Amino acid sequence: MITALCGGVGGSKLALGLYRILPPDSLHVIVNTADDLELWGLRISPDLDTVAYTLGGIAQQELGWGIEGDTFHALRGLETYGLDTWFRVGDRDLATHIYRTDALKRGESLTSCTAHLASRLGIRADVLPMTDDAVATRLLTGDRWLDFQEYFVRERHALSIDDVRYVGVEAARPTDAVLEAIRSAEVIVLVNSNPVLSILPILSVPGIREAIEGSPSPRVAVSPMIGASSVTGPAGALMRLTGHPPTSAGLAALYRNLIDGIVLDSQDERQRGEVEAMRIGVLATNTIMRTDADRDRVAAETIRFARSLR
Amino acid sequence: MITALCGGVGGSKLALGLYRILPPDSLHVIVNTADDLELWGLRISPDLDTVAYTLGGIAQQELGWGIEGDTFHALRGLETYGLDTWFRVGDRDLATHIYRTDALKRGESLTSCTAHLASRLGIRADVLPMTDDAVATRLLTGDRWLDFQEYFVRERHALSIDDVRYVGVEAARPTDAVLEAIRSAEVIVLVNSNPVLSILPILSVPGIREAIEGSPSPRVAVSPMIGASSVTGPAGALMRLTGHPPTSAGLAALYRNLIDGIVLDSQDERQRGEVEAMRIGVLATNTIMRTDADRDRVAAETIRFARSLR
């Protein structure tokens, strides 16, 4: 069993690689839910959906969010009625949010309704929300605190961020399924999602970091950084909030005590010494994943590398 | 000001005729809400929507429900997730239900959110739910009580019905807007909707029948019956539940004390004597409305006839 910690668009590519190369039913993906939002009375879990659509083979390829070939008729209707529609939800995508909202209202847990959705999409992996409790990433820009989606989607992550909080995380509990996925993992992978926006919220749920720290299995991170910027999204700029430089070596320092090895891009081979000095193993390879073949290769190299550690 | 009592598909055609021939802002339509349902956590008001879509000029013409040219991508998604999808909701239509559900959840009344929807659809008439309270038509077939939409949509109204109840109606209150629409009406029209499924639920809301009975203005019904069957739907078969024959004369008897005149089809001219014996005036005309010109003509004849009474 392999367990991955994952955010949305960036990380789901590697999660897909892992899913493709592993036997069925041997991957757990613990997914960030701190980006979840309630919109028009509907509960939306963007990262869970991106992972499920990606593993289910229906994700929109170009944009990275939503469903391939989706239409936006309902959204135009909501616009007619004067609702905010900067968060673009397609018609087919809407079915997911309607299902989830209704299931939660009927008393189902987010974990249980995510399992149902994933199973209906034919996914032979466990897609696990990090918690069934409410956690919300909020970002400070100047003197304004923004919700995550306001920052990321409405403002297109173009604002400079001075602080970040995962509101509610102290009181959140990891689910039994998450703790069991960590306990039973032969390898734990922190995928190349945005560290501040996707991985740290998961690690901040009380009990999850401790479970990973205590795991006897090899634990590796795949770095989203190349040089001082990230492959996708605003990871670099946000890294400085952690007090570490926006590099793969900075990421290794951020994940110290939590990982045994890091996969970084060949272009950052020169950071090897600095990372190894932290007693963290290094695999330098091409980490850019454009095709399924890239994803499979990085996934396979990551697992092989992890198994060589400890 | 003209006030119409109206159900969904059948009656909305005459409501459209009234809307088209009257000056803007001079029509109130009091609409049955006893067919409302909650589906997938969404609050659906089929008759309110049919009236709004019809007056707003976006109604699907052939089927009589839904929106012209609507697509069903979200519905197929809900089907994938294993939800019942016999109630066919289009993508654009879904926006209405999402808006309504969210507005009600935020504490808005059904009256207020219907007014918002109608205004956004450009409608210059008041579309008024009969009540803001919950009323549910239930139908007995053999020893099974069905919800209205189970009977009407899922079973395609093919079952024989032994009894009907408007659950919750005794405790429902008419809204101020409904009572004011009746009070201020120069003419009150009970349109040619199904009497048992659409008009009687409205009349059963305590205070509405009394307000119409007490009105000094002329009140007319347009009969949906031709011979012993109805122009559309199962009105004829259901009429016998009222203890009256399934004819326009039977309808006149059902509405006795409530109407001053009835518009019936020329084919039923021979029922004139029987109706006039109840001291109810008769206008016999062609009541089949296929085109907008038909709707305008029946609407105009109905108003002219009403004004000639009392």
B1-53 pLDDT, tens digit each: 999 999 988 899 999 999 999 999 999 999 999 999 999 999 999 999 999 99
Banded pLDDT at B231 (limits 50, 70, 90): low
CA–CA distances in Å: residue B15 to residues A39, A97, A180: 34, 35, 61
Q: Which of A150-154, A299-303, B130-134, B249-253 has the lowest mean pLDDT?
A: A150-154
Q: Which of A133-137, A150-154, A187-191, B221-225 has the lowest mean pLDDT?
A: A150-154
ipTM of the complex: 0.91
Smallest Cβ distance to B77: which of A41, A73, A92? A92
Please indicate whether, in this complex, the C-beta atoms of B81 and A40 are within 8 angstroms of each other. no
Mean pLDDT taken over chain A: 95
In this predicted structure, the answer to whether residue A232 has a pLDDT above a threshold of 70 is: no
> Could you report the per-residue pLDDT of A234-283, keeping only the tens digit for each?
777 788 899 999 999 999 999 999 999 999 999 999 999 999 999 999 99
> Could you report the per-residue pLDDT of A211-229, keeping only the tens digit for each?
999 999 999 999 999 987 7
Over residues A34-42, mean pLDDT: 96
Question: Radius of gyration of chain A from Cα atoms?
Answer: 18
**Contacts with A99 from chain B: Cβ below 8 Å:** 40, 77-78, 81, 83
> Could you report the per-residue pLDDT of B94-114, keeping only the tens digit for each?
999 999 999 999 999 999 999
- Tell whether B107 is within 8 A of chain A (Cβ): no
Mean pLDDT taken over chain B: 95
Rounded to whole angstroms, the Cα distance separating B10 from B231 reads: 8
**Contacts with B81 from chain A: Cβ below 8 Å:** 95-96, 99, 116-117, 120
Over residues B144-168, mean pLDDT: 90
> Could you report the per-residue pLDDT of A97-148, keeping only the tens digit for each?
999 999 999 999 999 999 999 999 999 999 999 999 999 999 999 999 999 8
In this predicted structure, the answer to whether residue B62 has a pLDDT above a threshold of 90 is: no
In this predicted structure, the answer to whether residue B279 has a pLDDT above a threshold of 90 is: yes
pTM: 0.94
Scored b (16 or more CB within 10 A) or e, A1-37 reads bbbbbbbbbbbbbbbbbbbebbeeeebbbbbbbbbbb
pLDDT value, residue A116: 98
In this predicted structure, the answer to whether residue B144 has a pLDDT above a threshold of 90 is: yes
B 113-172 near A (Cβ less than 8 A):
116-117, 120-121
In this predicted structure, the answer to whether residue A231 has a pLDDT above a threshold of 80 is: no
* Closest CA relative to residue B34, chosen from B212, B192, B161, B198: B198
pLDDT value, residue A9: 85
Cα of B300 vs its chain's centroid, Å: 19
SS (H, E, C) B55-92: HCCCECCCCCCCECCCCCHHHHHHHHCCCCCCCCCCHH
Q: Which residue of A has its CA nearest to B118?
A: A81
List CB contacts of B259: < 8 A, sequence separation 6 or more.
Answer: B190, B219, B220, B221, B252, B280
Banded pLDDT at B168 (limits 50, 70, 90): very high
Rounded to whole angstroms, the Cα distance separating B290 from B76 reads: 32
In this predicted structure, the answer to whether residue A2 has a pLDDT above a threshold of 70 is: yes
Residue with the bigger pLDDT between A50 and A62: it is: A50
